Every structure is written in structure tokens, then in C-alpha cells.
Amino acid sequence: MKMWPPVLSLLSSSSSKIQLASAWIVGTAVQNNDKAQVAILKYQPLAPLLSLLESSDMDVRSKAMYALSGLLKHNPEAVVQFQDMDGWNKLKLALLDPNIILRRKTVFLINSLLFQDPAGQQESSSDETSPAASASVPPPNSTATAVAPAPQSSSPLTAAPLERGPETLLSGVEHPDVAKALISSELLKIILISLLPSSTDGGNGVESIREKGLMLNYGPDGDQEPRRDLDYSEKAARCLLTFTEKLNPSTTLVDEETLRLLNLFAEQLRSEPIEEVEDREGTRSTRATELSIEQESLDNLERKLREIKVTGDRL
């Protein structure tokens, strides 16, 4: 219908209402629509969407993130373009936005990008990830239908054709290493610091943020700690748990400051919750249970952190 060029041109309108509406249209069109995600890329939509993250209008920034999320999810080619446009650093603005809703959307997107990054999956050795098993089970979030192995029979059988996977995964483009990008852009440090008490020494990460005049806290006056917003904190904590699981031990380096902050984060999960509550059995809750983090996830995090200590800077 040749609608992409006129719709995308409106992202650069002088009217914030038109910018908001066009970003909303883009996000709705590409959300869970792999063919639309592929079709839009040739019109270079990322540049205007990233620029809208710097809009003075809070609602425009929010809708720009909505559109970016729909475009980047399960779309390696779009993530490559995003990375080439310094997209990771652009996410810093959203992660330090006065609006906590935008911060929630940002950490949710980062967690989604970590999940879809295939890096680190080669470390799994379970039978479920063996070639034989993976041949009959589609990848997570794939639209492909699982096909059971054909039964053994002496009579000739015609194999049922497999459905095509998502168009976004057929380009052959390798997905960028998201964990490595989070470290180099310092996005990881910002997420870690946001979940720690304000009195915690955040090291160079905090100083670099303050030097740029950005706020670690949120709200119109910048006086509210993000860790006190349970929705944000749960999403951010999940993001950090995914990060530790996705790191490749042989290729990704973690500096001492980041390692220190990761250990402080683990300690916070074991500490008392911000809201004093008791579980059904009458025992005192922890920050981890307050954020709906399972014991297994917490144990896995601490195991990973012990591995970092043993192997030095390499995880």
C-alpha cells in the first residue's frame, strides 16, 4: 500500500501529537508481525525513532520505545542496525528518564534482547538441546510448529512440510552479543546501581552519570529511588539474572567494578525487603521474594558470581 514512507516521515513532524501518533502506528504495525518487521527496515525507521527518545514530550518518548521494542524483538538485522546507530548509548537516556514507566519499558526491552541472543546457548549439554531433540522442537518464540518424529513403519510415508520460521530470522544475520554491549555501554552498571540503596558507592558508573547531569533517581524532582518501584525493580532484577546466565565464559570480560556491583546486587536480594511482609508460613520475606525471584534463580546467580571469583575477570 506504500504507506511506510509517509507514516515514517511523520516521525519528524514539528508536532509532538503527530510524532506520538506515527510512532504508535509503527509500533502497532510491527508488533508480533515478522513480515512487517522485515518490510519496514529498508525505509530506515531506527534513526527517527531513536531521536524521539530525546523528545521533551514524555508521551512521545514512551511511544518511541514502544515502536523500538516491536521492531527489535526477534529481529537480528534490526538489532545490528540499532547497534551501528549507537543505540545502546541512546537507551541510557530512557533508563535515566524522569518517567519510571519509560524505565520499566526499557529494562523489559533489554531483557527481551538478552533472551533472544543465542550467545551462550552452546554451553548447554542437556539432552533437550541435542541435535536430535532440537530437530523436532522449534526455537523459543518461533512461529514454527513442532513436528513429531515420523513413526517407524515399513510403509512409505510422506514427510509433513515444516512451516517457515519468522521472516526476521531468515536473513542469516548474526545477532549482536547483547551481554557484551551492555557492559561496554555501561547500561549494565546503570541497571545495577538503580537497584542499590542511594548510599551505596556506585563507583565510576555513578560519577559518569552525574557529570552528564543525568538523574539516577526518578520523578519530576528526581527524589524517588527506582528500587522502591516494585514493577521496575522486578523487571530490572530479571534482566540482571538473564545477563548472568547469557554471558559466554570464553569471550566476555567483566571488570572489577561491575563484578563488585553484581555481588552487591546478590547481597541485596538476600537482605530484608523494602516493604515489611511475611509469607504464608509466617517467615520473614527477603528482597528476592518481594520481587518474585525464585530460590533457584538466586542460587544460580550466586553460583555464577563464585565462578567469576575463581576465574578472575572472565565469566
278 is a domain residue: yes
Number of domains in the chain: 1
Question: Would 59 be classed as within a structural domain?
Answer: no
DSSP reduced 3-state for 25? helix
Share in percent of the chain as helix, strand, coil (round to 5): 55, 0, 40
* Average confidence (pLDDT) over 160-165: 63
Q: Which of 22-26, 157-161, 187-191, 304-308 has the lowest mean pLDDT?
A: 157-161
- 142 domain-assigned: no
Q: Does pLDDT of 151 surpass 60?
A: no
Does residue 288 lie in a domain region? yes
Domain assignment of residue 235, yes or no:
yes
C-alpha cell of 176? 549482536
Question: Does 119 fall in a domain?
Answer: no
Residue 141 has pLDDT above 60, yes or no: no
Q: Who's near 221: CB < 8 A, 6+ residues apart? A: none
- Note whether residue 270 is domain-resident: yes
Cell numbers for 182, please give them: 551492555
Residue 232 lies in a domain: yes
* Whether the predicted pLDDT of 111 surpasses 80: yes
Task: Give mean pLDDT, residues 64-85.
Answer: 96
Instruction: Round the average pLDDT of the chain to a whole number and report it.
Output: 82
- Which grid coordinates belong to 141? 518464540
Taking the C-alpha atoms of 308, 229, 198 and 274 in order, what is their torsion angle to the nearest 10 degrees? -80
Range(s) of the domain holding residue 249: 183-315
Beta bridge partners of 218: 224
pLDDT level of residue 71 (50, 70, 90 thresholds): very high
SS3 224: strand
pLDDT band of residue 161 (cuts 50, 70, 90) is: low
Is the pLDDT score of 202 beyond 80?
no
